[in-house]
Amino acid sequence: MTKHPGAESGGNTGPTPELIDRVVTSILSLPMIRHLGPSRLPSREAVAELVLLVRELVFPGFFGRRDLTEANLRDHVAELLARVRAHAAEQIASVERYMAEQQERTDRGGPEDTRSALASHRPRRITRDARELADRFVEQIPEIRRLLALDVQAAYDGDPAAEHPDETIFCYPGVEAIFSHRIAHALYTMGVPLLPRIIQEMSHSRTGIDIHPGARIGEKFFIDHGGGVVIGETTVIGNQVRIYQGVTLGAKSLDRDERGRVARTGRQRHPTIGDRVTIYAGAVILGGDTVIGDDCVISGGVFLTQSVPAGHMVRNKPPELVMMGRDGGKGLGTGG
């Protein structure tokens, strides 16, 4: 029989009253990492289900139902669209209720009875708004599919190891990451709070690719290999851009207010990448005033904080390599 980790030698497996009091005190004293109240928080499980339903619409036959034909496709799409709309409306309402509660906690601008009156009307308004936003989201699915078809083609065209476009859909983390981003970005641009970040971070945990939902990414985008890629919130990326593992498109520094807190100014903090740019592994490009022109190539390992005119290649000076024999002597082709 397995002994409870907290069990005393006398066989008491329950927590002590003193420990219970300490944990409760900790919960009450640290409001940043607790949520108490009647409203349901967004559900990561339900958000994951929403993403799976959209994936089945974007890549029908690859995921979900496998017996699709032209004869049954319309009914299947109708069912999926209804489920996506219902899931999206539910989760949008959840995040809006949560954000409204957070705002209410910090609201000091009116008497208690006024805030209570506003709160009594909030659930009905949030439900209506969530349904409208869900309708707008499902209307964007044809455009999301168009963009992702181009992304899949870019992945196939850009990787000679891919034997068929299907392989990139099933296997490539870069395709999975841009799929999640296209969904999250659509919700982000509609002003839906929190939900885009949940979608993005679930993808990040699976792929190792971190694309903020706010990043604007053009057509035919391909991330090869993918691990360690970071693309910041205000990044702008043109068409036919290819990047490799370990690339960072980030900010130079954080603006702070007079109290030393991070200032959320809305200004562009991350670089702009033109059309047909290739950025090789490990390159770091920083700053909202950094613009990489069309048709540039950024070599691996470059650290860049200045703009590059169109049509240029940027690389580091080659380092000197020294080959040493196992006995300590210099081998062939070594530097001086």
Between 24 and 334, where is the model more confident?
24
How far is Cα 325 from Cα 330, in angstroms, rounded to an integer? 6
- Report the DSSP pairing between strands 313-314 and 284-286: unpaired
Q: Give the global pTM.
A: 0.83
Q: Is the pLDDT of residue 158 over 60?
A: yes
Q: What structural domains does the chain harbor?
A: 40-117+126-213 (1.10.3130.10), 228-256+265-317 (2.160.10.10)
pLDDT tens sequence across 101-119: 777 766 644 444 334 434 4
Kindly give, in sequence order, each residue whose CB lies less than 8 Å from that of residue 130, ignoring residues fewer than 6 positions away.
88, 89, 90, 92, 93, 96
How far is Cα 246 from Cα 330, in angstroms, rounded to an integer? 33
Cα angle vertex 248, ends 246, 249, to 5°? 150
Classify residue 38 by its DSSP letter.
Answer: S
pLDDT for res 109: 45
Closest CA to 222 of 279, 184, 302: 279
Question: Token pair of 105, please?
Answer: 């906690």
Question: Token pair of 47, please?
Answer: 């958000």
Q: Is the pLDDT of residue 239 over 80?
A: yes
pLDDT tens sequence across 195-210: 999 999 999 999 999 9
Let me know if 149 is exposed, middle or buried by CB neighbors in 10 A (0-12, 13-18, 19+): middle
pLDDT for res 331: 58
**End-to-end CA separation in angstroms for the chain:** 68
Q: Please compute, for residue 146, the number of CA atoms within 13 A of its CA located in the half-sphere on the CB side.
A: 7
How far is Cα 25 from Cα 45, in angstroms, rounded to an integer? 30
Closest CA to 204 of 224, 182, 227, 171: 227
Cα angle vertex 181, ends 179, 182, to 5°? 70
pLDDT tens sequence across 57-108: 999 999 998 899 999 999 999 999 999 999 999 999 999 888 887 777 666 4
Helix (H) or strand (E) holding 273: strand 272-273
How far is Cα 92 from Cα 131, in angstroms, rounded to an integer? 8
